[in-house]
């Protein structure tokens, strides 16, 4: 297992690499370059400069996140072949710089969604990302975009790029003719085109779950439970067609048995990386991000780490969506302090499980 940390890049992240390097047990990043819109090629020289900069700080960068899929691909529009070609070129460029896993999602229009980016937690006065279906029902998609922009603290948020969202109304109209079966067929077309590139370059393309784990605004969603991921794995039968299992995204739906999902796909060799976080269920389709500690949320973090240890121990792991604590100001969900605490907790669980198994 390699413990990593999400980082947005120099000048775009308030957390310096030297602070990440000081987190015990953290050896690398799950990085991203969010200056490129979906469908654009990530230039080789820019990727190389980014990777070299991270290496000079004493960290690895073998996982890249948020190489976003253009909506024309998800919609199956005539322009998709050009964007698929660009995606393949980005895969090649990342592979040349030592990247081994690329995380993407296939959610229509909106990637992740919350109704509040800084809801206070009454138990301790910290704040975290929060979702309430009842609040969502009173908002239009455009109001959600405006609400998210106001709560971002001036930071960019992956999946909420301005150029992408200014087309929101037009794209939502196009999705009226796309159901789950059509979306899955469009994903199959995409995977059949890019997985051979991944295989040739030694890269695994890992799909992230829908967040939250159900359809929203009537848009089709196909990646939020065991059955959905089973169907995705069968679209192209290759280890390069992999999964990024996010425990918080899957765990937002209490019907999902997260450790069982990890074990199922871990035993198949399809898990390339795992985002590990805890969520607190507060009612029907109502939850908040909590600390990573099991007792602070609704997920059994010991069982989750144990499932990783026993079925996919060689994956990349990172903490995810921490609270904002100790008066830290930063990108919602991505402060330093609570995620560093999360790493310490997850590493402690890993060490305990490892020593139990070894009889020490």
DSSP, residue by residue, 288-352: EE--SSGGGSSS-HHHHHHHHHHH-TTSEEEE-S--B-TT--SSTT--SHHHHHHHHHHHHHHHH
Q: Of the listed 198, 246, 273, 312, which one is catalytic? A: 246
Query: For the chain, give me the number of helices (H) and strands (E)?
Result: 14, 12
Check whether 165 has a pLDDT greater than 70: no
Q: Of the listed 70, 208, 264, 292, which one is catalytic? A: 208
| CA within 13 Å, CB half, 336 | 15
Check whether 157 has a pLDDT greater than 80: no
Q: Of the listed 321, 337, 338, 345, which one is catalytic? A: 321
Return the bridge partners of 324, or none: 127
Instruction: Pull the structure tokens for residue 194.
Output: 């890019």
The pLDDT assigned to 158 comes to 66
| Pairwise CA distance, residues 308 & 13, whole Å | 29
Catalytic, 281? Answer no
The residue assigned the tokens 């990440």 is 20
Catalytic, 292? Answer no
Catalytic, 244? Answer no
Catalytic, 334? Answer yes
Catalytic, 246? Answer yes
Nearest alpha carbon to residue 31 among 351, 357, 316, 299 = 316
| 96-154 pLDDT per residue, tens | 999 999 999 999 988 888 999 999 999 999 999 999 999 998 888 778 777 887 877 77
- Residues 63 and 95: beta-carbon distance below 8 Å: no
Q: Of the listed 111, 116, 211, 320, which one is catalytic? A: 320
Q: Of the listed 36, 316, 334, 337, which one is catalytic? A: 334
- Phi first, then psi: give them for residue 138, nearest 5 degrees: -90, 5
Catalytic, 124? Answer no
Check whether 209 has a pLDDT greater than 80: yes
211: helix, strand or coil: strand
């Amino acid at each position: 297992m390699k413990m990593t940390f999400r980082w947005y890049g120099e000048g775009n992240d308030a957390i310096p690499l030297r602070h990440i390097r000081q987190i015990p047990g953290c050896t690398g990043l799950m990085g991203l370059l969010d200056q490129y819109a979906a469908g654009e090629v990530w230039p080789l020289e820019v990727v190389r400069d980014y990777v070299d900069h991270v290496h000079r700080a004493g960290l690895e960068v073998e996982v890249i996140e948020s190489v976003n899929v253009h909506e024309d691909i998800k919609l199956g529009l005539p322009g998709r072949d050009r964007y698929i070609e660009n995606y393949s070129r980005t895969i090649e460029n990342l592979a040349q710089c030592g990247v081994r896993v690329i995380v993407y999602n296939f959610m229509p229009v909106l990637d992740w969604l919350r109704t509040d980016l800084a809801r206070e937690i009454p138990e301790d006065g910290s704040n975290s990302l929060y979702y309430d279906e009842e609040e969502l029902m009173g908002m239009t998609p455009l109001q959600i975009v405006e609400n998210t922009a106001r709560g971002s603290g001036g930071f960019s948020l992956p999946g909420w790029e301005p150029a992408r969202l200014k087309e929101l109304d037009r794209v939502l109209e196009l999705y009226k003719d796309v159901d789950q079966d059509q979306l899955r067929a469009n994903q199959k077309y995409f995977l059949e085109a890019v997985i051979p590139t991944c295989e040739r370059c030694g890269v695994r393309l890992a799909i992230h779950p829908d967040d939250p784990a159900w359809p929203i605004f009537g848009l089709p969603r196909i990646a939020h439970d065991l059955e959905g991921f089973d169907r995705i794995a069968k679209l192209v039968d290759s280890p390069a067609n992999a999964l990024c299992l996010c425990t918080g995204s899957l765990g937002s739906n209490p019907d999902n048995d997260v450790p069982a999902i990890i074990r199922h796909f871990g035993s198949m060799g399809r898990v390339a990386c795992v985002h590990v976080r805890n969520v607190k269920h507060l009612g029907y389709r109502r939850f908040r991000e909590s600390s990573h500690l099991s007792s602070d949320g609704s997920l059994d973090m010991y069982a989750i780490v144990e499932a990783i240890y026993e079925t996919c121990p060689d994956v990349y792991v990172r903490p995810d969506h921490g609270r904002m604590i100790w008066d830290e100001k930063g990108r919602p969900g991505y402060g330093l302090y609570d995620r560093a605490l999360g790493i310490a907790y997850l590493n402690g669980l890993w060490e305990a499980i490892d020593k139990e198994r070894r009889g020490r």
